[in-house]
Copies of this chain bind each other. A is one copy, B any other.
Amino acid sequence: MPNPITHDRRYFEDLAEGETFALGPMKVTKTDIIEFATEFDPFPFHLDEKAAKQSLLGGLAASGWQTGGLSLRMLVDALLSRVASMGGLGFAGLKWKRPLMKGDTLSGTATITSLRRSNSRPEMGILTVAFDMHNQRGEQVMTLNLANLVEVRNPGAGAAQ
């Protein structure tokens, strides 16, 4: 796979609170679900259609971690590959609202909710993004707040907030 990082890099100063990005869509197949679950989340309701039908989920559903991973990849494609990212910091929260079932299509939006300069490291800023992920019926699947370090273009210009 080619490296998707492009050279139209946006620095911390180029980002704005409230900016939104469309994520996906991506359809999730039975094979996708089983391959991921086999490695990371090997439960019958992620591996076997018969067991899945008898479970609370009512059918073969993707691991919530797969939904998270796919959403992250969508954010990389839509935003992070175009900013001077210095790596992730973590989540403020993650909620799985509804399972992503076999054949469902995942899409959503990411909104920049906060931009904060680091107090201790003037060359770094902290970008916070809220994910709002849905299935093809518009039903909410997952919410997540992600914090990521972004390089500041001109660390000397203006005091850290």
Q: Which residues of A contact B (CB under 8 A)?
A: 1, 3-5, 38-45, 47-48, 55-57, 64-65, 68-70, 72-73, 76, 80-81, 85-96, 99, 149
CB-CB nearest in chain B for A142: B90
Knowing A87-B57, A93-B91, the reply to whether A73 touches B41 (Cβ < 8 A) is yes
Contacts of A87 in B (CB 8 A): 43, 45, 55-57, 64, 99
Distance A43 CA – B39 CA, assembled complex (angstroms) = 22
Q: What is the distance, in angstroms, from A137's C-beta to the closest C-beta of chain B?
A: 20
Q: What is the distance, in angstroms, from A21's C-beta to the closest C-beta of chain B?
A: 17
Contact B76 A90, beta carbon cutoff 8 Å: no
Contact B73 A39, beta carbon cutoff 8 Å: yes
Contacts of A76 in B (CB 8 A): 41-43
Contacts of A5 in B (CB 8 A): 42-44
